Structure 1
Amino acid sequence: MTHETSETSAVPATGEPSVSARHRLRWNKVPEVTVYFWIIKVLCTTVGETAADLLNEKAGLGLTGVSVLMSALLAGVLVVQFRTHAYRAGVYWLAVALISVVGTLISDNLTDNMGVPLETSTAVFAIALAVVFVVWFRRERTLSIHSIDTTGRESFYWLAVLFTFALGTAAGDLVSERMALGYWLAAVLFAVGIAAVAVAHFALGLDAVWSFWVAYILTRPLGASIGDYLSQPTGDGGLGLGTVVTSVLFLAVILGLVVYLAVTRKDVAEPERGAGLPA
């Protein structure tokens, strides 16, 4: 749901490349947005929902303990991600999967442990995400995911990703509870929302950056609805596969796709695609 435009950067008389040119000499730290990207993203959001439920049920640590453990794992993976010099499919998607779990746990902690209403948590996460975007743009003059080529931009990127997962969880739960749609109809509703964003972008010219981030947020409740539909008991409107089977199944598909991308490099951005360019 993105496009690229090329730009020729000038080299000043000093012989030193401009700031944007220096950015373009480095590899982008995130994948190209292809059909593989969206498939794995939805699968990761599904795993985030089912794995969070599974860990909460089986780990015996309680919701808070599980949240601390998964946050520590996420921090470790992000350290590895930041230390890489280019996009690495395995590290990147492991970070996304863990952020999906942590984002779910953050929202669940607010709702279940602290009694924060979903309306409040949804509003708070929306404001937090908006603040990240504003500060990101004021600092970097772009929100393009095709220019995640500095530590600062990567920091903003992952912070935005975390808040999109938390927001998607809270907003998805809010919509599902208020409308009482059931898991399957809720998944259809969010899929229609993503399709509407795609139409608005490709047919009506909606800005590529905002199209991407809105769709990115909507994939979270879509994946959660799919995960709940597959894992929850039939008496609750699900298929009754359970969190273990659902999590293992989706993790296996994610692993297969990530290995394929790591080998084929079909989602690796070209190094000259760089800063200041639209998404």
Structure 2
Amino acid sequence: MKPSHETALSKVPEVTLLFWAIKIAATTLGETGGDAVSMSMNLGYLVGTAIFAGVFLVAVAAQIKAKGFHPWLYWTTIIATTTVGTTLADFADRSLGIGYAGGSSLLLLLLLASLALWYRTLGTVSVESISAPKAEMFYWVTIMFSQTLGTALGDWTADTAGLGYEGGALIFGALLALLTLAYYKTKISRTLLFWLAFILTRPLGAVLGDLLDKPLADGGLALSRYSASLTLIVFIAACLLLFRHRPAKTAH
């Protein structure tokens, strides 16, 4: 028997303030964790991307195979997308030699292509419409591209634009505040606002991650990538243990 619409959708969490708090922490962890593997361990961006891509594929397969909503599994998969996004963006920006502008442009095209193909195939890109493995695949691929694009945008803003980590955090925080205002005060598509917010939380996490682990001379707090990553893991685990996590409701 095929799973019902309600059962399939129950694997996606309800989008609340808690969701966004964990999302920002997870994206920050993606920055510190990705840098820890590719830079602190001196494995390089390509090897780091391969490692995290493997974790991402295993996590997505487990998420799709699951029969219900499991908060730990869902957020593990999100963290996997944000770590592979970090190393993949760094590889595109630096190892391919196309710079932050080129990397961001390439990743934006990939994200738009993923959303377009998703919409053309299923007729919607709303997270409330996920009711089959095919929709889940589009969901996770789109999330992975959005995380990667967010990393590139965060690095571009902090480095190339010369705003620094604090300036980048203020810019993306202000943009997210505007999206929140639009959510409550306008009738702009909730699906559009969700994906914009999802993309913008990633560069916010990128600059926050850099703020934590970059040297004092570069405007960071000079924490080790390992200690910063461990702190974020403890915060996410506390949120999962202390608060109730409900699945999203079905769109009828």
- Shorter chain as normaliser: what TM range? over 0.9
Amino acid at match of 1:32: E
Between structure 1 and structure 2, the one with the greater Rg is: 1
TM-score (norm 2): 0.93
> Map of 1:181-260 to 2, 5 A cutoff?
181-260=163-242
Distance between the aligned counterparts of 2:34 and 2:147, measured in 1? 13
C-alpha contact 2:4 2:131 (8 A) present in aligned 1: no
- 1:116 is matched by which residue type in structure 2? I
Alignment match, 1:139: 121
Who is 1:93 aligned against? 75
Deviation for aligned residue 1:139? 1.7
Pairing partner for 1:129 from 82, 106, 111: 111
Separation of aligned partners in 1, 2:116 and 2:46? 31
Give CA deviations for 1:69-93 in whole Å, capped at 9, x if unaligned. Answer: 1111221111111110122111110
State which of 243, 248, 251 in structure 2 corresponds to 1:269: 248
- Equivalent pairs: percent with the same residue? 30
Deviation sequence 1:240-264 (CA, Å, 0-9, x none):
2221111110011011112335xx3
Q: Distance in 1 between matches of 2:147 and 2:8?
A: 28
**Corresponding position of 1:161:** 143
User: Does the 8 Å CA contact 1:46/1:224 hold for their aligned counterparts?
Assistant: yes
- CA distance in 2 between partners of 1:251 and 1:26 (Å): 27
Report the secondary structure of 1:32's partner residue. coil
How far apart are 1:26 and its partner, in Å? 4.3
In structure 1, give the amino acid aligned to 2:228. Answer: T
Structure 1 counterpart of 2:19, one-letter code: F
Q: Which structure shows the higher helix fraction?
A: 2
Residue 84 in 1 paired to residue 66 in 2? yes
Q: Does the 8 A contact of 1:231 with 1:243 survive in 2?
A: yes
Question: Which of 56, 59, 63 lines up with 2:45 in the alignment?
Answer: 63
State the shift of 1:165 in Å: 0.7
The answer as to whether partners of 1:70 and 1:102 remain within 8 angstroms in 2 is: yes
**C-alpha separation in 1, matches of 2:37 and 2:166:** 24
Verify the 8 A CA contact 2:8 2:130 in the aligned structure 1.
no
- 1:178 Cα deviation after fit: 3.2
Structure with higher RCO (Cα < 8 A, 6+ apart)? 1
Gaps of 5+ in 2: none
Partner amino acid for 1:94?
Answer: T
In structure 2, C-alpha distance between the alignment counterparts of 1:196 and 1:152, rounded to whole Å: 33
State the alpha-carbon separation in 2 of the partners of residues 29 and 149 from structure 1: 10
Task: Write the letter of the residue equivalent to 2:184.
Answer: F
* TM-aligned CA deviation for residue 202 of structure 1: 1.6
Deviation at 1:154, TM superposition (A): 0.3
Q: Give the partner amino acid of 1:216.
A: F
Instruction: Answer whether contact 1:29 1:148 (CA < 8 A) is retained.
Output: no
Query: RMSD of the TM alignment (CA)?
Result: 1.9
Given residue 132 of structure 1, which amino acid in structure 2 is its aligned partner?
Answer: S
Q: CA deviation at 1:23?
A: 2.5
Shift of 1:60: 4.0
Q: Name the counterpart of 1:108.
A: 90
The one-letter amino acid of 1:268's match is P
**Normalised TM-score (structure 1):** 0.84
1:39 aligns with 2:30: no
- Tell me the CA shift for residue 138 of structure 1: 1.8
Aligned amino acid, residue 27 of structure 2: T
Residue 147 of structure 1: CA displacement? 2.1
